[in-house]
Amino acid sequence: MLSKLIVAAAALALLAGGRAAAAEFEMVSHGDLVFAEHDGAKLLGDLYLPKGRSKAPVLVAVHGGDWQAGNKQMYRFWGLFLARAGYAVFAIDYRLGKPGMYPAAVYDVKAAVQFIRAKAADYDLDPDRVGLIGDAAGAQLAALVALAGDQFNSAHRDAANAAVPANVKCMIGFYGIYDMQAQWTHDLSARPNDKIVEKFLGASPMQNRRLYFDASPISYATIDRNALRVLLIHGTSDDIVDPETQSGIFLTELAQSGFFVRRIILPGAGHFWSSDPFESEPRSYAAMSIPRMIRFLESSL
């Protein structure tokens, strides 16, 4: 299986141009690294490395799943592909499933960034070339930490890496949730029996509008934070996360505040495709996004 994936990743790399076109690197991995322990929960990550590349840039990968499900394995295909293209990937788990888990998961993602920066020398990574990538709920967490990690500093102050800065250079989001109240409204019609945002935040907007503002990455799309570079990727047929009220409006707010922001729109793409395998699927939505994603990474990380 692994050999098939390596061949597939090399073939896909030919689509990407630039560094990935030569498929220069082999992938080596370190599984189940404990990057933090929060409230008794050991948090694990899988690190995919480009063998032989010194001071590799790295993406911390945050899976989706409505803040209720999913795991770090959802980024194994991206880990393999991007490592062969010269980018390390640290795919992580975070705490899931309990109503009102916000902001615990935010602190988990922030801790992963701090771990990578603190341990960069151990794995020959560049601590100043760190980015975040996530899908759906994972994109919300990635964007929130990328834009406003400094706002989440009241918990876990005694953690080993608590003093390490969590700033990153770029963020990539697949069909992300960036405005929590807009998603709550969309949930009313799209999934009335599973109000994912209300479950995650533990309250409705009528109970606590400030909570929805604070948890929304779009709230931090301000001029003072515009050093971050952003790539938004989504399809035109997503009925779970509405493209225009999420990625579309987020793009507008970022652009108005002077961010370098780009968008990839995939005609016909819905939800739940970013973790699909790349094997023998050059026309898959993931494969279609690769050329522009690699160009973004080359200029941003």
In tens, the pLDDT along 131-173 reads 999 999 999 999 999 999 999 999 999 999 999 999 999 999 9
Contacts of 143 (CB under 8 A, 6+ apart): 132, 134, 171, 173, 176, 178, 217, 230, 250
pLDDT at 20: 41
Instruction: Report CA dihedral (122, 294, 220, 158) to the nearest 10 degrees.
Output: -10
CA-nearest of 7, 89, 92 to 42 is 92
Which residue reads 């697949």 in tokens?
174
pLDDT at 279: 58
User: What CA–CA distance (Å, rounded) separates 186 from 211?
Assistant: 18
| Three-state DSSP class for residue 15 | helix
Whether pTM exceeds 0.85: yes
Rounded to 10 deg, the angle between the 2-16 and 76-84 helix axes is 60
| Three-state DSSP class for residue 291 | helix
- Show the DSSP H helices in the chain as ranges: 2-16, 18-21, 76-84, 104-118, 137-148, 180-190, 196-201, 209-214, 249-256, 285-300
| Three-state DSSP class for residue 101 | coil
Q: Which domains does the chain have, with CATH numbers?
A: 2-300 (3.40.50.1820)
pLDDT at 7: 38
The encoded tokens of residue 226 equal 């515009």
User: What CA–CA distance (Å, rounded) separates 284 from 13?
Assistant: 14
Given a cut of 70, the residues of the chain with pLDDT beneath it are 1-23, 279-280
Burial class (CB in 10 A: 0-12, 13-18, 19+), 247: buried
Which residue reads 């922030």 in tokens?
110
CA-nearest of 236, 249, 265, 239 to 186 is 239
